[in-house]
Amino acid sequence: MAKFQRRTSSNILLKTALENFYDAAEEMKLDKGLIEVLCRPERAVKVAVPVQMDNGTVKVFDGYRVQHSTACGPSKGGIRFHPCVDLDECEALAMLMTWKCSLAGIPYGGGKGGISVDPNTLSKNERERMTRTFAARISKVIGEWDDIPAPDVATGGQEMVWILDTVSKLHGRFEPAMLTGKPVSYWGSEGRTSATGLGVYTCVKEVLEAGGDTFKDSKIIIQGFGNVGMNNALFLHNSGAKIVGISDITGGYYCENGIDVPAAVRYAQENNKLLEGYDQLGLVKMSNEDILTQECLVLCPCALEGVINENNAKLIKAKYIVEGANGPTTPEADKILDKRGIHIVPDFLANSGGVIGSYFEWAQNLAGYFWTEDEYNQRLIQIMEANFKRVFKYAIAHNTTMRRAAFCVAIERVADNLKLRGFFL
Query: Which residues carry out catalysis?
Result: 112
- Of all residues in the shown chain, the one whose CB is closest to ligand GLU is 78
Any contact of residue 354 with ligand GLU (CB under 6 A)?
yes
Whole-angstrom distance, CA of residue 11 vs CA of residue 43: 19
Min. distance of Cβ 187 from ligand GLU in angstroms?
A: 14
Min. distance of Cβ 399 from ligand GLU in angstroms?
A: 29
Range 48-67, binding ligand GLU (CB under 6 A): none
Q: Given candidates 90, 130, 135, 150, which one binds ligand GLU under the rule CB under 6 A?
A: 150
Min. distance of Cβ 161 from ligand GLU in angstroms?
A: 16
Min. distance of Cβ 4 from ligand GLU in angstroms?
A: 29
Min. distance of Cβ 115 from ligand GLU in angstroms?
A: 15
Determine the Cα angle at 114 with ends 112 and 116, to 5°. Answer: 140
Q: Given candidates 358, 365, 377, 387, which one binds ligand GLU under the rule CB under 6 A?
A: 358
Min. distance of Cβ 347 from ligand GLU in angstroms?
A: 9
CB nearer ligand GLU, residue 229 or residue 354: 354
Whole-angstrom distance, CA of residue 347 vs CA of residue 352: 8
Among the residue ranges 5-13, 23-31, 72-80, 220-228, the one whose residues contact ligand GLU (CB under 6 A): 72-80
Whole-angstrom distance, CA of residue 270 vs CA of residue 59: 36
What b/e readout covers 370-399, taking b as 16+ CB neighbours within 10 angstroms? ebeeeebbebbbebbeebbebbbebbeeee
Among the residue ranges 313-321, 338-346, 352-360, 401-409, the one whose residues contact ligand GLU (CB under 6 A): 352-360
Whole-angstrom distance, CA of residue 127 vs CA of residue 397: 50
* Cβ atoms of residues 109 and 144 within 8 Å: no
CB nearer ligand GLU, residue 117 or residue 160: 160
Range 360-389, binding ligand GLU (CB under 6 A): none
Min. distance of Cβ 53 from ligand GLU in angstroms?
A: 28
Range 151-170, binding ligand GLU (CB under 6 A): 152
Q: Tell me how many residues contact ligand GLU (CB under 6 A).
A: 10
Among the residue ranges 129-137, 138-146, 354-362, 410-418, the one whose residues contact ligand GLU (CB under 6 A): 354-362
Any contact of residue 109 with ligand GLU (CB under 6 A)?
no
Closest by CA position to 149, among listed 121, 126, 115: 115
Q: Given candidates 65, 68, 76, 237, which one binds ligand GLU under the rule CB under 6 A?
A: 76
Residue 285 burial class via C-beta count within 10 angstroms: exposed 0-12, middle 13-18, buried 19 and up: middle
Could you give the string, one character per residue 311-350, with x where binding to ligand GLU holds by CB under 6 A and - elsewhere?
Answer: ----------------------------------------
Tell me the torsion sign for CA atoms 371, 372, 373, 379.
negative
Within a 10 A sphere around the Cβ of 166, how many other Cβ atoms? Answer: 19
* Cβ atoms of residues 168 and 175 within 8 Å: yes
Min. distance of Cβ 80 from ligand GLU in angstroms?
A: 8
User: 3-state DSSP call for residue 239?
Assistant: coil
The residues pairing with 248 across neighbouring beta strands, listed in sequence order, are 251
Any contact of residue 229 with ligand GLU (CB under 6 A)?
no
Any contact of residue 147 with ligand GLU (CB under 6 A)?
no
Any contact of residue 78 with ligand GLU (CB under 6 A)?
yes
The span from the first CA to the last CA of the chain, in angstroms, equals 27
Any contact of residue 180 with ligand GLU (CB under 6 A)?
yes
Any contact of residue 355 with ligand GLU (CB under 6 A)?
yes
Any contact of residue 85 with ligand GLU (CB under 6 A)?
no
420: left (phi over 0), alpha (psi -120 to 50) or beta: alpha
Any contact of residue 77 with ligand GLU (CB under 6 A)?
yes
For residue 116, the Cα-to-chain-centroid distance in whole angstroms is: 19
Q: How far is CA 64 from CA 67, 82, 303, in A?
A: 10, 12, 24
Helices assigned H by DSSP within 68-191: 87-104, 124-137, 157-171
Sites of contact with ligand GLU (CB under 6 A) = 76-78, 97, 150, 152, 180, 354-355, 358
